[in-house]
């Protein structure tokens, strides 16, 4: 009681704990009030929510990419023609644009199960333009396996 009168910190908790011990109702775990959660529970909920959100975003991105590839499919021949036109310009910026289109065509070929055909076309490009090191560096960035 002297500690209580002196207003020492956490005396109220010590007093409650001591009274519970004397009454024989000591609690081994801390009880939370209804509607309250522990920090560990909140952290677990936050982790679960973040994981679910990330999975939903990935699923939405995959669906969007499939839509883009389906839209590209009817224009595949024109896209290949555009790639060849860009390569013919012999310019760095045109090579960059051609590489972006080739990445899209690679994704389309993978989606359609025609990756070996795409790989043959890329190898033919490498052989036909073997004297253009800047183009070859960009073509090397396109994975075909």
Return the pLDDT at 18: 83
Return the pLDDT at 29: 55
Comparing 16 with 78, which gets the higher pLDDT? 78
Instruction: Please give the angle made by the CA atoms of 48, 49 and 54, to the nearest 5 degrees.
Output: 100
Q: What is the mean pLDDT of the chain?
A: 89
* DSSP per-residue codes, the chain: -HHHHTT-TTHHHHHHHHHHHHHT---SSPPPPTT---HHHHHHHHHHHHHHHHHHHHHHHHHHHHHHHHHHGGGHHHHHHHHHHHHHTT-HHHHHHHHHHHHHHHHHHHHHT-HHHHHHHHHHHHHHTTT-HHHHHHHHTS---
CA 61 vs CA 21, 56, 143: distances in Å: 58, 9, 21
**What is the pTM (predicted TM-score) of this model?**
0.66
Residue-wise pLDDT for 4-63, tens only, equals 677 777 777 787 888 888 888 655 555 656 677 788 888 899 999 999 999 999 999 999
First-residue to last-residue Cα distance in the chain:
78
Return the pLDDT at 106: 96
Return the pLDDT at 37: 79
Return the pLDDT at 115: 94
Residue-wise pLDDT for 87-145, tens only, equals 999 999 999 999 999 999 999 999 999 999 999 999 999 999 999 999 999 999 998 87
């Amino acid at each position: 009681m002297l500690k209580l009168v002196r207003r020492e910190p956490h005396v109220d908790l010590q007093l409650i704990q001591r009274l519970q011990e004397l009454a024989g109702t000591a609690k081994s775990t801390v009880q939370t009030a209804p509607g309250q959660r522990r920090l560990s529970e909140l952290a677990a909920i936050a982790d679960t929510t973040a994981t679910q959100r990330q999975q939903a975003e990935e699923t939405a991105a995959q669906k969007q990419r499939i839509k883009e590839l389906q839209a590209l499919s009817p224009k595949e021949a024109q896209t290949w023609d555009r790639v060849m036109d860009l390569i013919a310009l012999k310019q760095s910026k045109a090579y960059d644009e051609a590489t972006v289109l080739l990445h899209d065509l690679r994704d389309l070929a993978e989606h359609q199960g025609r990756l070996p055909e795409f790989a043959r076309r890329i190898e033919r490009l490498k052989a036909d333009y073997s004297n253009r090191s800047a183009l070859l560096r960009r073509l090397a960035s396109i994975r075909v396996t």
